Amino acid sequence: MRYGHFDDGRREYVITRPDTPLPWINYLGSEAYFGIISNTAGGYSFYRDARLRRLTRYRYNNVPFDLGGRYLYLRDSASGDFWSPSWQPTQSELEDYECRHGMGYSAISSCRNGIEAETLYFVPLGENLEIWRMRVTNKRDGEAKLSLFSAVEFCLWDAQDDQTNFQRNFSTGQVEVEGSVIYHKTEYRERRDHFAYFACSEPLAGFDTQRDTFLGAYKGWDSPAAVERGESFDSVAHGWAPCGSHHVELTLAPGESKEVIFVLGYWENPDEAKFDPPGSQTVSKKPVAPVIERYLRSDEVESAYQGLRDYWSRLLGILQVQTPDEHTNRMVNIWNAYQCMVTFNMSRSASFYESGIGRGMGFRDSNQDLLGFVHMVPERARERILDIAATQLPTGGAYHQYQPLTKRGNDAVGSGFNDDPAWLILGAAAYLKETADLSILDEPVTYDNEPGTESPLYEHLQRSLRYTLDRLGPHELPLIGRADWNDCLNLNCFSTTPGESFQTTENKEGGVAESVFIGGLFVLAAEELAQIAGLRGQTDEAKVYRADGAKMDTVVREHGWDGEWFRRAYDYFGDVVGSAKNEEGSIFIEPQGMCILAGIGLDDGKAEKALDSVSDKLATKHGIVLQQPAFTHYYVNLGEISSYPPGYKENAGVFCHTNPWIMIAEAIIGRGDAAFDYYQRINPSSREDISELHRCEPYVYPQMIAGKDAASFGEAKNSWLSGTAAWNFVAVSQWILGVRAEYGGLRIDPCLPKEWERFEATRRFRGATYQISVSKPKGVCKGVAQVTVDGKKIEGNLIAPQPAGAEVVVEVTMG
């Protein structure tokens, strides 16, 4: 069953009923000001950091779902009937409800009793504000007298404190109202130099800023007292819960439309010029006034919206494909690329499942996200790499995350995950392959954000690799530390205290837990660093890295191979994990993917065998589960992985992030049907028809789909913020379609399903445009017989970089 449909021409998903199984959300903003918005206008906004600079409130895990948002109410003065044109929060019956989630904007429209309303929400490029443009049309035969009310609830900036520290916060709230603008200025009187504003393009009939006056005591957002009676209270918040509500009266002749624009934004004044007049306590509004004025104008709003659309056309235009499969096309061309940009901006901080308080920018997560967006915004990838590296510890180790506002690393979600450093090498390599900008390697970068500790980025990469080599266990495999990619395989934790975090609790000393996965990752990273060293002319160093990699490869084959698949780890006591010897958790997906990506076992049949085992034991119709058999009880020596009921999350869920590793591995060994089959099993667009089971948005990947051991097999959770986005993009674009940036140019090396006969792609790469067509006359899945560039045959399938501005025609014949 579907709840809407794709409109690929407009790059939108169109939701046609408001009661989706879960709120289906979208993101507003692409630089510093962001928001999440659901299909019923739920969500919240923040400046840079969802925890430290939150503008509006949202009630996570609320009943009913999804409360707190960008709300508008219409009220018919004649009948007193009032409703929310976005359905929430009044949940009144609507005709023609539609929510169009697009690239950086959402538009929600509906009609009730002949009154049509459409609201477009977006953040203009380069601004720290969001626009709600509402158009109300009277489709009745007679005149309509209406009241329009807006409503947001302000968050007192620090989202964590806002939800916990009521003894203080009920006394700090402050606002100012001037003309049609409401200013939220809590704590501006003391140490903050920033405020929020909520402006309206129309003269006001009234306003409210005290939430409980606007709503009425014991009443909810579904029936605010002001809306019910059709008149604001003109309340000015002093403490309690400041909100922002405008009241606009509209009289519309039959057929008449009226546009009302609201602007919600964030502003910082220089510390020494906060007040106007100086010495007063009144917010200085002069600097922000022209910005507000500008975006309350219809023509400016329209051109900012067009600017946003052009921006996305430009970004998405960097890679466009035409394949025989519409799901592939729309994911590669639109939604998967878009999701990659969102994970770039958010890491794992703010979604319907991530509260914006719990996690910031993950070290390993952000490095992997980079793989999916580096071709679109390479200059921002550069900045991101430098930000991440600046939090690295002098040992080469890493905090697990940093806070976007301060860019400082912190161990709130743990540290000492021994895979973290290696991902920095992979992130940097992806950037270098895309751009050939070797200068980044010489950028001075701090350790632990400490000024004075700078060393070139290249040294950070060296220390990353060294970090693993300095921490080898009894089998010469890498020690796992707190955990590796699988945050929940906690082999040194031994937690028996309820509620204790598996990621931050003190590890038991003296263990020898080793990770085969990090072994594979190390082999991959060592080769990447060797290539980078080679580019710098450091050939001796490159040799050393290659030798380190080769040694680890041997160790993995020796101690990491179980006979039919790669083992997962050795635990604290040196006992094997992920082996046929284990009754539960005898095979894990991660080492199969990572070892093959690193090239281990390609020459001796191990890779093929491992992939056969995956197909045999882990693959399901809803994707490949993380391990089997699922853990049926808690294993204190394995940790959080066994805390989840079977089939969920890391305990044998389809942890989507790992599936593309298998797709890539299949593509590496040339099994195009298998690679594509796995791809389409978790492709959200291919799953649109089972939305009632899948439940999450059909336009973006979720982190997890419940596995076969779960009661709700096939149900997705944790949409949007997951390494799944980047890795699926890599799998389909670089390995299945095979269009891959390398140091020496653009490689075209597809591995396609047998029945495909051709596909086309346009790729912009280092300033030139490649019009690529691939034909597959013979039915082979892999192997390129001939490549021509502008009609001239070249050797092999690596196209040397073309001059910037050039547009070349590339014809590839497989066979």
Among residue numbers 317 through 356, which ones bind ligand NOJ (CB under 6 A)? 348
Site string for ligand BGC, 391-430 (x = CB under 6 A): ----------------------x-----------------
CB of 99 to ligand BGC, least distance (A): 29
What are 617's two structure tokens?
């034991």
CB of 221 to ligand BGC, least distance (A): 31
Between residues 527 and 650, which has the closer beta carbon with respect to ligand BGC? 650
Chain position whose Cβ is nearest to ligand NOJ = 487
Instruction: Read off the amino acid at residue 788.
Output: T
362 binds, among ligand NOJ, ligand BGC, none (CB under 5 to 8 A by kind): ligand NOJ
What are 44's two structure tokens?
């919240």
Is residue 650 near ligand BGC by the rule CB under 6 A? yes
CB of 734 to ligand BGC, least distance (A): 25
CB of 491 to ligand NOJ, least distance (A): 14
339 closest CA partner among 316, 356, 319, 360: 316
Chain position whose Cβ is nearest to ligand BGC = 487
Instruction: Read off the amino acid at residue 582.
Output: N
Beta strands 768-775 and 82-83, pairing class: unpaired
Residue 372 CB-half CA count within 13 A: 33
What is the phi-psi region of residue 729: left when phi exceeds 0, alpha when psi lies from -120 to 50, beta otherwise?
Answer: alpha
From 152-160, 220-228, 357-365, 512-520, give the range in contact with ligand NOJ by CB under 6 A: 357-365
486 binds, among ligand BGC, ligand NOJ, none (CB under 5 to 8 A by kind): ligand NOJ
Q: What is the DSSP string of 203-222?
A: --SEEEEEHHHHH-TT--TT
Instruction: Read off the amino acid at residue 646.
Output: P
How many residues line the site for ligand BGC (CB under 6 A)?
A: 7
11 binds, among ligand NOJ, ligand BGC, none (CB under 5 to 8 A by kind): none
Return d(Cα 584, Cα 111) in angstroms, integer. Answer: 55
Among residue numbers 467 through 526, which ones bind ligand NOJ (CB under 6 A)? 485-488
Q: Which of 548, 650, 666, 709 binds ligand NOJ (CB under 6 A)?
A: 650
Between residues 487 and 528, which has the closer beta carbon with respect to ligand BGC? 487
Catalytic residue among 162, 487, 562, 709: 487
- CB contact at 8 A, 679 and 666: no
What are 743's two structure tokens?
């140091």
Q: Specify the DSSP class assigned to residue 441.
A: G
Angle at 167 between CA 499 and CA 151, to 5 degrees: 95
Burial class for 498, CB neighbours closer than 10 Å (0-12, 13-18, 19+):
exposed
174 closest CA partner among 159, 192, 153, 188: 188
Q: Is 161 a catalytic residue?
A: no
Between residues 435 and 724, which has the closer beta carbon with respect to ligand BGC? 724
364 binds, among ligand NOJ, ligand BGC, none (CB under 5 to 8 A by kind): ligand NOJ
Among residue numbers 496 through 555, which ones bind ligand BGC (CB under 6 A)? 503
Q: Which of 57, 364, 559, 687 binds ligand NOJ (CB under 6 A)?
A: 364
- CB contact at 8 A, 84 and 149: no
365 binds, among ligand NOJ, ligand BGC, none (CB under 5 to 8 A by kind): ligand NOJ
How many residues line the site for ligand NOJ (CB under 6 A)?
A: 9
- CB contact at 8 A, 283 and 195: yes
What is the phi-psi region of residue 546: left when phi exceeds 0, alpha when psi lies from -120 to 50, beta otherwise?
Answer: alpha
* Entry field: residues in the chain: 815
Q: Which of 484, 487, 562, 715 binds ligand BGC (CB under 6 A)?
A: 487
Q: Which of 75, 330, 606, 649 binds ligand BGC (CB under 6 A)?
A: 649
Among residue numbers 160 through 179, which ones bind ligand NOJ (CB under 6 A)? none
Return d(Cα 509, Cα 502) in angstroms, integer. Answer: 15
Q: Where are the alpha helices (DSSP H) in 654-698?
A: 659-668, 672-682, 691-694
Q: Which of 74, 292, 488, 654 binds ligand BGC (CB under 6 A)?
A: 488
Provide the sign of the torsion angle of the four alpha carbons 403, 405, 407, 410, taken in this order.
Answer: negative
CB of 635 to ligand NOJ, least distance (A): 16
Radius of gyration of the chain (CA): 28
Is residue 365 near ligand NOJ by the rule CB under 6 A? yes
CB of 654 to ligand NOJ, least distance (A): 13
CB of 365 to ligand NOJ, least distance (A): 5
C-alpha distance across the termini of the chain, in Å = 40
Is residue 562 near ligand NOJ by the rule CB under 6 A? no
Q: What is the DSSP string of 790-802?
A: TTEEESTTEEPPP
Provide the binding-site residues for ligand BGC, judged by CB under 6 A.
413, 487-488, 503, 640, 649-650
Provide the binding-site residues for ligand NOJ, judged by CB under 6 A.
348, 362, 364-365, 485-488, 650
Please list the active-site residues.
487
